[in-house]
Structure 1
Amino acid sequence: MSLLRCVAGVIALARPINNASTIQTQRHFKRWVSPTLRELAHRVKKQGPQKPEPRSGFVEWNYRSELFAFGKRLNEEFQLPLLQTAFTQRTYAHQEQERQRMLGIAEADLQTADNSQLAAKGAHIAKAYVEAYLQHALPKVPSAGHQAIASYLLGTETLAHVSTHLGTKELIFSTEYPPSSETLAQTLQAIIGALADSSGVERAFLFVRDFICTQLNQKDLLEIWTPEQPLQLLSEVCTERQLGEPEPRLLGDCGKNTVLAAFQVGIYANRQLLGKGFGENVQTATETAAIDALQTVFEMHENRRPFDFRMQLEAKNVKLG
């Protein structure tokens, strides 16, 4: 029993019973409470911070009920054996097999499934749907932008963030606690695979849309994808779309010969202003203006129409390969 639980027990024991015979002692703690609490606090400080303990170690823990509640919270129908497999890491499965072998259990019972296959299937489904969704939501963005945004959505950090907020942390069977970001991300992919096997690929697509694609909500796309050579890319896009040759023009400058110099450059095509930007020199201002022009051409500005997260793509529009 940890020291924190000992402290809770001491306080509970020191609390007087609320009846007529103990009215005199209700306003006072026992004499031994104060020195006991000081000693326990000293031991806690000496031992250092307590390591996090998984909820599965609590007496009232019921794993089957937790799995059932997990699916109901997400409003999804899972096959419980598949869902349990989705939460089982390979390292834990190997450890469990070794433990059973040491106990002398027959070899036929040592087959403990892990989530590697479900994770591979879920990753394939998520990648296919995210790419299809970006093509419909951002039709004017080139493939390089789609790849950068898809990499952000399917990256370990984003998937681990989604997995954590779905409540997978306490349900994962792993040899480490708390689970790492890689474990959380792989578990989320396995959950997608388990959902596809339990309720069909269409439900898995909606799951990806509702929990992964929505991470783009109120997100500045320029922070995710910034072209390395914006002026060259703008020239290629303008030539491809027959918008005319982009022409940068100096619109104004301030403090030209000082350390606080600022230049404003605008980029025109066919006498139409595509974008403008500021910088400490003309080159920087030109690149900033080119990025602003690309945002206009690709419809990536912050004031663009919000993403439609109610969009339902048909299975034929998603290339599962």
Structure 2
Amino acid sequence: MSLIRGFAVAITMAKPMNRTGTVQTCRHIKRWVSPTLRELAHRVQKQGPQKPEPRAGFIEWNYRSELFAFGKRLNEEFQLPLLQTAFTERTYAHQEQERQRKLGIAESDLHTADNVELAAKGAHIAKAYIEAYVQHSLPKVPAIGQKAITSYLLSTETLAHVSTHLGTKDLIFASEYPPSNETLANTLNAVIGALADSSGVERAFLFVRDFICTQLNQKDLLDIWTPEQPLQLLGEVCAQRKLGDPEPRLLGDCGKNTVLSAFHVGIYSNRQLLGKGFGEDVKTATETAAIDALQTLFDLHDNRRPFDFGIQLETKHVRLEA
């Protein structure tokens, strides 16, 4: 399709101009334009879609300038050698050393730094801060729920999503292109490690908060963590908080003997309504009501107070053990 686009631009630029310098509109298109465009489109379709190519192969590519611009876009100060190391995967480093060895370079000079150590450090920093942030933002959620939310933020898919939208895809030195989700996630961890070595751990904590923790914004937390046995968990929570045993009660039903049956169940504790839910049978409605009650007790409803993404957790609140 790029051939067709370039051909169309050439036709536009070839339009005659009048004395004032403006382009004169042609009343008629030459009869050879249509068959030429059809032939070009046929050739492109026959060859198949063009494979994605890294921007590093472009003539005007300046890698050092791109690294500098990457840090400025994020409003962070990186040491460029560290940042370049963060973007270098181990597989690429091994390929580069093998290429240099074939060129006859001495073994003592065969050294290409990779991002393994930076990625491990960045992953450790991200895990420590996210655990502290989730615990601070969701204090009523039990440990199993906090762990599930932390695992979501640290998952390969989430980190790859963040890494892609930060513009790391074309800066990565890897053996494959486009880079896989694992490579994108590993690179993001390495960038966090490089930032910690360049500007300090505090800046790395803020980076994790601004770009990873914000993935919880407008997110339904039940999509991340749904209790497997909500009624049993509700009983344990009520016992811990001394609320009394939860009691499911049928509030209403409709069409119980039809395929469109619906049951309305409420769960009470000490004569206080904790939650209610609907379902096609009593068991489903009871589980739905139990989940609704847990949302109330854990403060997970959609109308809950939004996450505070401007908070600055003190270093002492973040467990950053080696």
- TM surpasses 0.5: yes
1:302 corresponding residue in structure 2 = 302
Q: Which runs of 5+ in 1 are unaligned?
A: none
Aligned to 1:268: 268
Partners of 1:236 and 1:154 lie apart in 2 by 28
Q: Give the whole-Å Cα distance in 1 for the aligned partners of 2:35 and 2:177.
A: 34
- Within 1, Cα distance between the matches of 2:237 and 2:132? 22
Task: Answer yes or no: is the 8 Å Cα contact 2:18–2:24 preserved in 1.
Answer: no
5 Å matches for 1:1-321? 4-5=2-3, 8=6, 11-12=9-10, 15-16=14-15, 18=17, 20=19, 27=26, 33-321=33-321
Instruction: Give the 3-state SS of the residue equivalent to 1:78 in structure 2.
Output: coil
**Aligned residue type for 1:68:** F
Unaligned runs of 5+ in 2: none
- Aligned counterparts of 2:197 and 2:54: Cα–Cα separation in 1: 29
Superposed displacement of residue 265, structure 1:
0.8
Distance (Å, rounded) in 1 between the aligned partners of 2:141 and 2:310:
21
Helix, strand or coil for the counterpart of 2:218?
coil
Secondary structure at the counterpart of residue 293 of structure 2: helix
The SS at the match of 1:170 is helix
- Using the size of structure 2 for normalisation, the TM-score is 0.93
TM-score (norm 1): 0.94
RMSD across aligned positions (CA): 2.1
Cα distance change on mapping 1:255 and 1:9 into 2, 3 Å: closer
Partners in 1 of 2:227 and 2:103 — Cα distance? 59
Q: Distance in 1 between matches of 2:22 and 2:316?
A: 76
Equivalent residue of 1:175, what SS?
coil
CA contact (8 A) 1:15 1:29 kept: no
Q: Displacement, 1:57?
A: 1.0
Deviation at residue 8 of structure 1 after TM alignment: 1.2
Q: Is the 8 A contact 2:267 2:273 kept in 1?
A: yes
Change (3 A) 1:247 1:55: same
Residues 106 and 283 (structure 1 numbering): CA distance in 2 closer, same or farther, change over 3 Å? same
Displacement of 1:99 after TM fit?
0.8
CA distances 1:143-168 after superposition (whole Å, capped 9, x unpaired): 00001000111001111111111111
| Alpha-carbon contact 2:17-2:24 (below 8 Å) kept | no
Total equivalences in the alignment: 319
Distance in 2 between residues matched to 1:23 and 1:288, nearest whole Å: 69
* Shift in Å, 1:24: 11
How far 1:176 sits from its partner (Å)?
1.1
Shift in CA distance, 102/302, structure 1 to aligned 2, threshold 3 Å: same
SS of residue paired to 1:191:
helix
Q: What's the secondary structure of 2:257's corresponding residue?
A: coil
Q: CA deviation at 1:41?
A: 2.0
Q: Contact (CA 8 Å) 1:92, 1:174: kept in 2 or not?
A: yes
